[in-house]
């Protein structure tokens, strides 16, 4: 057996010792920020500023500033909401589901992916709150005793399920991420030279000392949280898909939505993790921790989920044809051949056709190629939500009310602003916290990817 | 504290290692000799150490189960009371207690209670809170050093003999008696 075993390269290159891991990862925080980092932060911050102006304008003027009309009442901002929630899901998949499957390569990526989840959920949360019109009354979605009756929230509505799903998701993701950070914060505290850093990391590390009695409980809680987060992430996007599937609108009212949405979310999220990690590898020099083997493993997930999404597109068309329901047939024909055909075919090209190139190993291990594909996938997945929402609405049962929706500048500026928020937070995270889980990487040193 | 008592148990012996395999073999040896392990410090969770050291399995899953069940009960009670008792509203002609529609929220609150509850209990049991001073017996324990504290009993290897035994298993440094704080281990 032993001689026939093909021993592949280890997940962490450079025969690192645990001390080197601490120095490499924590050393990233000691270096002066590069010009590249400053220019990226400036660009992100400007985008964020554009978003702040746009959101302030919408909040003070009203959502009449959007391109919505009587027929199309949901469009750009719900698209952005679903898009950002989907991005977030890869972080939980990497941190929880791959942990349960004992995929050791996750250790290089999970910290950054979990941070990405948090920032993406923050971006997502902004959109439904703005959509409420009077965002300052957003707390009305919480069931609290009130003087309006008490009039309670409607627990039979998927929109309310969303409130619970997303707030729980954010809370659990934050706790899971922080729990994983605690041993690393202790490492930073103990090697910090400056007073300020020692003080701040000292508070954040909660007095962690690496005692084994604590480690046993810690491992147990980590496993429990992974076990809770894995069905949670599936439930969150299932509930998001219920926002559509529970309605009776042709094009939305489909039972395939929950698995289709979850696969799509993982697909787009993995693409975003690839985008961010490849950028980090290029700019921060973490090539020994995030190797082409990691890219290779993640690309395989992208092909798998991308193909599931493609299968879902075909299934939808087949079921519409097979249903003999004229409205259902029309909704899907209109989607593929109607006024929004351009968006539909962008979606199919980016989501189904482009990832198939990753079947080639040579392309999977070429970082520039994967980087381009990861962006193409996210463009495609954004269009998927746009197509799904807008094409199902814009030609409803009454042809006299058919219309065409185009986003306004305000809506586009809000999307730009959400990207600004996302990248600003991510760049700050890279500067101030260890972006690789040191304590986890130390545990897999010397193990080859064969294990 | 115990030094004033003449027939107190022998002083604990501490050893610092820099390789996890040395630590594992020392722990196995200490266990074979029937000595008590005071504590082990490590920068990361060493695979299989709790089994070698014979530490009791954590029972955090029971905590999670209790909090998760509490979450389910709270969620069902909240939804039943608000929609069937406090102010019933006809939604799509569903029954007041339309429990299948309550399942998504019940699931989310189960996860929320179990997750938050187990973290809070974990932090409490492990005495971790913001601003707490870390008690580190040696330097480098959050970087690449492991520390093992052994409590000998009367009639077993102790003192210098035990320290030598630990050094034979690869200990870089040994200390007889409780560590006073940041002993230099580098």
The 10s digit of each residue's pLDDT in B114-140 is 999 999 999 999 889 898 888 888 888
pLDDT of res. A282? 87
pLDDT of res. A91? 86
| Class (C level, CATH) for B2-56+134-176 | alpha beta
A448: which DSSP letter?
B
Q: How far is CA B29 from CA B2, B21, B24, B157, B158, in A?
A: 27, 12, 9, 12, 14
Helix (H) or strand (E) holding B41: strand B36-41
Query: Which carries the bigger pLDDT value, residue B58 or residue A14?
Result: B58
Distance from CA of A177 to the nearest CA of B (A): 12
- Planar angle of CA A53, A59, A60, nearest 5 degrees: 90
Please determine, for residue B184, whether its predicted confidence score (pLDDT) is greater than 80.
no
pLDDT of res. B1? 44
Length of chain A: 451
pLDDT of res. A447? 59
Closest by CA position to B80, among listed B103, B113, B114:
B103
pLDDT band at B182 (very low <50, low <70, confident <90, very high): low
pLDDT of res. B11? 82
pLDDT band at B92 (very low <50, low <70, confident <90, very high): confident
Cα–Cα distance measured from residue B75 to residue A298, given in angstroms and rounded to the nearest whole number? 37
CB–CB contact B78 A182 (8 Å): no
B146: helix, coil or strand? Answer: strand
Given A164, A210, A214, which is nearest B142 (Cβ)?
A210
CB–CB contact B55 A143 (8 Å): no
Q: Are A385 and A351 contacting, i.e. CB atoms less than 8 angstroms apart?
A: no
Interface test with B, best of A24, A102, A152 (most B CBs within 10 A): A152
CB–CB contact B43 A439 (8 Å): yes
DSSP string, A92-130: HIIIIIHHHTT-TTHHHHHHHHHHHHHHHHHHHHHHHHH
Cα–Cα distance measured from residue A367 to residue A293, given in angstroms and rounded to the nearest whole number? 11
Cα–Cα distance measured from residue A184 to residue A112, given in angstroms and rounded to the nearest whole number? 13
Q: Which residues of B touch A171 (CB under 8 A)?
A: 112, 115-116
Hey, what long-range contacts does A282-288 have (CB within 8 A, 24 or more apart)? A282/A367, A283/A34, A283/A36, A283/A37, A284/A28, A284/A430, A284/A435, A286/A24, A286/A28, A286/A435, A286/A436, A287/A13, A288/A12, A288/A13, A288/A14, A288/A16, A288/A24
B77: helix, coil or strand? Answer: helix
pLDDT of res. B6? 47
CB–CB contact A203 B107 (8 Å): no
Query: Which residue stretches of chain A have pLDDT < 50?
Result: 1-6, 449-451
ipTM value, please give it. 0.91
Taking the domains of chain B in order of start, what are their residue ranges? 2-56+134-176, 60-125
What structural domains and CATH numbers belong to chain A? 18-443 (1.20.1630.10)
Surface of B (9-28) touching A: CB under 8 A: none
Cα–Cα distance measured from residue A371 to residue A269, given in angstroms and rounded to the nearest whole number? 13
CB–CB contact A439 B116 (8 Å): no
Q: Are A320 and A268 contacting, i.e. CB atoms less than 8 angstroms apart?
A: no
Distance from CA of B177 to the nearest CA of A (A): 18
- A3-48: pLDDT as tens digits: 334 456 778 887 788 888 888 888 888 888 888 889 999 999 999 9
| Strand duo B36-41 + B13-17: pairing | unpaired
Helix (H) or strand (E) holding A445: none
Average pLDDT over residues B6-26: 82
pLDDT of res. A450? 43
DSSP string, B111-124: HHHHHHHHHHHHHH
Q: Are A264 and B157 contacting, i.e. CB atoms less than 8 angstroms apart?
A: no
Surface of B (55-114) touching A: CB under 8 A: 55, 57-58, 60-61, 64, 78-79, 82-83, 86-87, 89, 91-92, 94, 98, 101-102, 104-105, 107-109, 111-112, 114
Given B55, B60, B89, which is nearest A224 (Cβ)?
B60
Q: How far is CA A62 from CA A47, A73, A390, in A?
A: 22, 14, 21
Please determine, for residue B36, whether its predicted confidence score (pLDDT) is greater than 90.
no
Distance from CA of A182 to the nearest CA of B (A): 10
Mean pLDDT of chain B: 85
Q: Which residues of B touch A226 (CB under 8 A)?
A: none
CB-side exposure of A205: number of CA atoms within 13 Å?
Answer: 26
Cα–Cα distance measured from residue B141 to residue A210, given in angstroms and rounded to the nearest whole number? 7
């Amino acid at each position: 057996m032993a001689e026939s075993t093909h021993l592949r390269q280890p997940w962490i290159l450079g025969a690192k010792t645990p001390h080197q891991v601490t120095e490499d990862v924590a050393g990233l925080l000691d270096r002066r920020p590069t010009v590249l980092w400053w220019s990226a932060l400036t660009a992100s911050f400007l985008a964020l500023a554009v978003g702040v102006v746009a959101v302030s304008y919408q909040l003070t003027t009203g959502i009449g500033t959007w391109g919505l009309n009587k027929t199309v009442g949901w469009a750009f901002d719900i698209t952005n909401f679903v898009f950002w929630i989907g991005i977030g899901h890869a972080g939980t998949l990497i941190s929880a589901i791959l942990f349960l499957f004992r995929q050791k390569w996750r250790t290089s990526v999970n910290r950054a992916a979990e941070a990405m989840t948090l920032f993406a959920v923050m971006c997502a949360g902004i959109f439904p709150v703005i959509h409420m019109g009077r965002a300052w009354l957003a707390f009305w979605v919480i069931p609290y005793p009130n003087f309006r009756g008490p009039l309670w929230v409607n627990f039979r509505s998927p929109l309310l399920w969303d409130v619970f799903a997303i707030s729980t998701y954010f809370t659990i993701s934050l706790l899971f991420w922080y729990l994983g950070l605690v041993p690393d914060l202790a490492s930073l505290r103990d090697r910090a030279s400056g007073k300020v850093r020692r003080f701040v990391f000292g508070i954040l590390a909660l007095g962690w000392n690496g005692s084994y009695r604590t480690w046993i409980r810690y491992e147990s809680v980590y496993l429990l949280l992974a076990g809770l987060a894995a069905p949670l992430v599936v439930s969150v996007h299932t509930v998001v898909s219920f926002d559509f599937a529970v309605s009776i609108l042709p094009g939305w009212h489909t039972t395939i939505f929950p698995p289709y949405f979850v696969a799509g979310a993982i697909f787009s999220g993995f693409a975003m993790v690839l985008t961010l990690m490849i950028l980090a590898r290029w700019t921060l020099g973490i090539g020994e921790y995030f190797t082409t083997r990691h890219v290779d493993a993640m690309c395989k997930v992208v092909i798998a989920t991308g193909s599931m999404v493609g299968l879902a597109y075909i299934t939808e068309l087949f079921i519409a044809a097979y249903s003999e329901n004229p409205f259902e047939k029309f909704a899907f024909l209109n989607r593929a051949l109607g006024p929004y055909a351009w968006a539909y075919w962008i979606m199919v090209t980016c989501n189904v056709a482009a990832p198939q190139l990753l079947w080639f190993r040579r392309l999977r291990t070429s970082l520039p190629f994967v980087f381009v594909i990861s962006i193409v996938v996210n463009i495609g997945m954004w269009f998927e939500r746009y197509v799904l929402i807008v094409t199902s609405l814009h030609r409803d049962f009454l042809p006299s009310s058919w219309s065409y929706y185009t986003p306004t500048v305000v809506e586009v500026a809000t999307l730009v602003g959400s990207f600004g928020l996302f990248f600003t937070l991510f760049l700050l995270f890279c500067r101030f916290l260890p972006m690789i889980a040191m304590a986890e990487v130390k545990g897999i040193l010397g193990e080859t990817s064969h294990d | 504290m115990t030094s004033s008592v003449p027939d107190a148990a022998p002083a604990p012996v501490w050893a610092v290692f820099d390789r996890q395999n040395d630590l594992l073999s020392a722990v196995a040896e200490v266990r074979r000799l029937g000595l008590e392990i005071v504590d082990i410090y490590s920068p990361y969770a060493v695979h299989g150490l709790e089994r070698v050291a014979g530490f009791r399995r954590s029972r955090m899953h029971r905590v999670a189960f209790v909090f998760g069940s509490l979450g389910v009960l709270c969620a069902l009670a909240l939804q039943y009371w608000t929609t069937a008792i406090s102010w019933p509203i006809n939604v799509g002609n569903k029954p007041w207690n339309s429990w299948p529609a309550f399942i998504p929220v019940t699931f989310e609150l189960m996860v929320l209670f179990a997750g938050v509850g187990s973290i809070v209990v974990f932090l409490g049991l492990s005495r971790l809170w913001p601003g707490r001073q870390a008690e580190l017996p040696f330097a480098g324990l959050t970087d690449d050093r492991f520390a093992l504290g052994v409590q000998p009993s009367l009639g077993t290897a102790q003192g210098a003999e035990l320290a030598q035994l630990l050094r034979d298993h690869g200990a870089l440094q040994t200390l007889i008696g409780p560590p006073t704080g940041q002993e230099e281990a580098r």
